[in-house]
Amino acid sequence: MTLELKNDFQRTPNNLHTWGIAVLFIVTAIWGTSFGLTKGAISSLSASAILATRFAVAALPFTFYLRFLNLSLLRDGVFLGLIIFSVSTFQTVALETSSANRAAFIASFNVILVPLLGQMMGRQVLLKTFLAAAIAIFGIGVMCWESGEIVIGDFLMLGNAFLYSIYILKLESVTLRHPILPLTAIQLWVIAIVSLIWGAPDLVRQHETIGANFGVLLYLGLVDTAGTIFLQVVAQRWVNAYETALMYTLEPIFAAVFSFLVLGEKLGIRGLIGATLVLVAMVFGQSKSPDIEEDTEIQVNKPIVTALSSADTEPIKVPVSVLNGNLIESECDL
């Protein structure tokens, strides 16, 4: 029997799904390094100058791929780029009043917001998805939560989590429509242009300090921004939005490990317990659902090599038994 599934995230054979999980693992590891590396830059540069320089550096290497733009790609890329800019801005401003630990905890709420929004859009969401999300949030809370009164930064981080949930769902719905590199390029250039408009005055005033911190800004631009956005576009061709959000809860663990190994910060018992709970959530969330018909086949898009700079629409067939997840009938788009 052959089924044609309408949701792109279901079109994933086991080997590509595994590669997608590995790619998201790398993304969260890179994000974890950025916290410690930006401490020095933040103390001497304004947020607008950091973001403008970082995003301009990220966008430049992808300029060539803007030649492949079309109206549909431009629409989706601008939407995604504006979300990423808003997420970065919310987080930067929030950290002026909210602690980094509390901000990390609140940001992790996207792991529960993604399936909730998915349900509101008519998608079927497994109970284990919510259970895994709850375990992950609890684990991050054990690691990161700090008591104290609620501040404006906490509300901004809630906005950050909500917006990033929309980004994850939207990227899932468009990543198979467009070639990978042009979709990455338009996102980066939208972020860069808006950031440069915002940060232009500070770029002029702080050009010497920018030069002194350019090594860190280069890493944040090329690796932490351009590299991770590219990898997210790749990974979400093969991993659904719910698993993606769950994988992103690894970020505080990588941040803690990096701070322990490189910055000499302590990793206490709370950190170990919290990290263990997050890892338990990962394993539970990735466990295979038992109610999938073994002899069913679905349509799967070709591998990444053919999708870097041109759209890939010709499907191949694989057994549905290699999939992680259930068949879902509805077709959803943000």
User: Any idea what the Cα angle at residue 66 is, between residues 65 and 72, rounded to 5°?
Assistant: 115
Banded model confidence at residue 38, pLDDT cuts 50, 70, 90: low
- Asked which of 1-5, 60-64, 83-87, 300-304 is least confident by mean pLDDT, the reply is 1-5
197 or 277, which is more confident: 197
- Answer whether residue 249 shows pLDDT above 60: yes
| pLDDT digits 0-9 by tens, 57-75 | 999 999 999 999 999 999 9
315 or 120, which is more confident: 120
Which pLDDT score is estimated for 250? 86
Residue 305 resides in a domain? yes
- Asked which of 170-174, 186-190, 235-239, 247-251 is least confident by mean pLDDT, the reply is 247-251
Overall average pLDDT of the 152-176 stretch: 91
236 or 325, which is more confident: 236
Q: Which residues contact 219 (CB under 8 A, 6 or more apart)?
A: 37
Q: Which residues contact 96 (CB under 8 A, 6 or more apart)?
A: 153
d(C-alpha 291, C-alpha 327), whole Å: 10
Which pLDDT score is estimated for 39? 62
Angle at which helices 152-174 and 71-94 pack, to 10 degrees? 160
Overall average pLDDT of the 36-51 stretch: 77
Scored b (16 or more CB within 10 A) or e, 147-172 reads eeeeeebbebbbbbbbbbbbbbbbbb
Residue 334 resides in a domain? no
Residue 3 resides in a domain? no
Which pLDDT score is estimated for 321? 27
Which pLDDT score is estimated for 288? 63
Residue 187 resides in a domain? yes
Which pLDDT score is estimated for 324? 33
Output phi, psi for 316, to 5 deg.
-125, 160
Which pLDDT score is estimated for 200? 92
Residue 288 resides in a domain? yes
Calculate the average pLDDT of the chain.
78
Q: Which residues contact 282 (CB under 8 A, 6 or more apart)?
A: 132, 136, 246, 247, 249, 250
d(C-alpha 99, C-alpha 41), whole Å: 17
Which pLDDT score is estimated for 8? 44
Say if CB 247 and CB 21 are below 8 A apart.
yes
Overall average pLDDT of the 154-162 stretch: 88
Overall average pLDDT of the 7-15 stretch: 55
Overall average pLDDT of the 116-132 stretch: 82
Taking the CA of residue 156 as centre, how many other CA atoms within 13 Å lie in the half-sphere pointing to its CB?
20
- Answer whether residue 287 shows pLDDT above 80: no
| pLDDT digits 0-9 by tens, 169-218 | 999 999 989 999 999 999 999 999 999 999 999 999 998 989 988 998 99
Question: What is the value of pTM for the model shown?
Answer: 0.78
Residue 12 resides in a domain? yes
Residue 1 resides in a domain? no
Which pLDDT score is estimated for 174? 94
Cα distances (Å, whole numbers) of residue 327 to 3, 29, 31, 124: 9, 31, 32, 9
Output phi, psi for 318, to 5 deg.
-140, 155
85 or 266, which is more confident: 85
Range of the domain at 236: 8-322
Banded model confidence at residue 142, pLDDT cuts 50, 70, 90: confident
Number of domains present in the structure of the chain: 1
d(C-alpha 166, C-alpha 114), whole Å: 7
Overall average pLDDT of the 131-160 stretch: 79
Overall average pLDDT of the 326-330 stretch: 30
Residue 2 resides in a domain? no
Report, in angstroms and rounded to the nearest whole number, the Rg of the chain calculated over CA atoms. 20
- Answer whether residue 113 shows pLDDT above 50: yes
The helix (H) or strand (E) run that includes residue 299 is strand 297-301
